[in-house]
Amino acid sequence: MSLHLRLLNACDKDYEAMPGDARRRFCDTCGKHVHDISTGTEQEARQLLAENRGRRVCVRFARTSSGEIRFRAAAAVAVVAAAAASLAACSAADQVTQPTVQVGPLPPAPPKPDAGPPDDTYFVGDVTEP
């Protein structure tokens, strides 16, 4: 079952202007961290909510075209982790210089069917699970 949240208090503060990183920023106005749950997996969002059960949690999220919360795919997390581990195992001595090949311009990528709304339609505020 997908995660459903009820937005208790919508916030109009600019997330991009808040200090922090891509996953969590600090709001000077309310004095709370704002967690961007769309940058993580659904499991990570559930864990955040479970760790803060009974407390108000401020989140930022986007919705898919079907209205569900948009999350990063768990498979993408595994691929990034594997790629990072693979790169970390390499050293400069292991690398071989490859010839350069020039390729013409690539056609534009087709639109993703479930990319969700653009960044300016993120929802921010205190949430609870219904």
The per-residue pLDDT for range 4-13, each reduced to its tens digit, is: 888 888 889 9
Q: Which two tokens stand for residue 38?
A: 């769309």
Residue pair 26/34 in contact by the 8 Å Cβ criterion: yes
Name which residue leads in pLDDT, 23 or 128. 23
Q: What is the pTM of this model?
A: 0.63
**Host H or E run for residue 59:** strand 57-61
Task: Give the number of other CB atoms < 10 A from CB of residue 55.
Answer: 9
Residue 75: is its pLDDT beyond 70?
Answer: no
